[in-house]
Structure 1
């Protein structure tokens, strides 16, 4: 595989990408003998756009997806656009033209690809305009992330920034209120105003936000935990927080 090519697998991930960026597809592998309703849209689109497709046995797909659940479809595609801090202005300007206030998710050091994929799915469902992550010590947009995101990786830009605290300060200068989650605060998520231009910061699995990230937030909140478990999976907590913002904005 060429250096800048990527693998994408999973029915939703491949279907969403082929609908949005068919020009990126180089070749497609489908599970031999599988011709059900879920795969038909992908087969039809590949024919429409002239994408070479071949039927192969399960072992070929298993090897290409390195044991991940591929659902009978794997594609080789050209590398997509990488978003950086220079793209944030354009993303927020596009949202403003649609009458939307800034709504961002910032992930500080989330390294598990399954958690990043689930956060992308949450962000898409909540109407988040972009996810901002540090360039280092964070999960990348891999085939596994795309599979878990079930298509959301194609709709929510993943913006990689060199200096997270500096980007947060730039957002604050643009009038974006930045709220972070931290277990040590006494302020409950449900007791704060979460309308207006907003960015939600979620910390890494287990460790939470880094010190500088935490200090740069305008406000820190926590989820009320009634049971013996002290914390939630980052993607679960992200979904709860995002939809509380959505609820208040409505």
Structure 2
């Protein structure tokens, strides 16, 4: 731990733990707290530097002899949906995402629980209680929103709201230069909708409407089936040792 000054964040290093993406590897993270009046500005800077947010913590990998985790962001203005992406748009044209304040609800937790039990029963979040979920959503000092996706209704064009049960949820930070998708989950019984992909496509459009140049997708790990989907959203930039660099799909 080093302290550069009273008003500067303090950074800490975790002990090695098993890597959730690459078998036989161990991960370490460097992290700091996002609290107080400067939390939002610090979150902007750290996200641009490859950090991710979890509640009031910003972290990034700091693994010895491994650089597999690469920060990825989509270039919004240049993004053009492929034919398969357009099919997913059409498949979910009956859904609408309503942006609400970061406040947990019983509906959200029920969907979150179904998602974890179906998709990540052995993962690190599998034992999260309703209180843990509430902390994930509302324990923040930065500008963030929950986007709830439901079926469109006859008055959705006027209200911006859907009706019926939740089918998907995204927890999203609003940054000075983009949207950062902190965490998302969806109805595991609606696999034919490709809801994870749809939410990313919807965020790209949201960023476009807001005049924001990027959508931050977190880490892409070459060789990891859990992270492979992120490379499909082109054009995108990867954070390298010399800064953010445009990468073509053929180069990955």
Query: Fold-level match, TM-score > 0.5?
Result: no
Bigger strand share? 2
Relative to its length, the structure with more helix (as a share) is 1
Work out which of the two has the higher radius of gyration on C-alpha atoms and give 1 or 2.
1
- TM-score, normalized by length of structure 2? 0.29
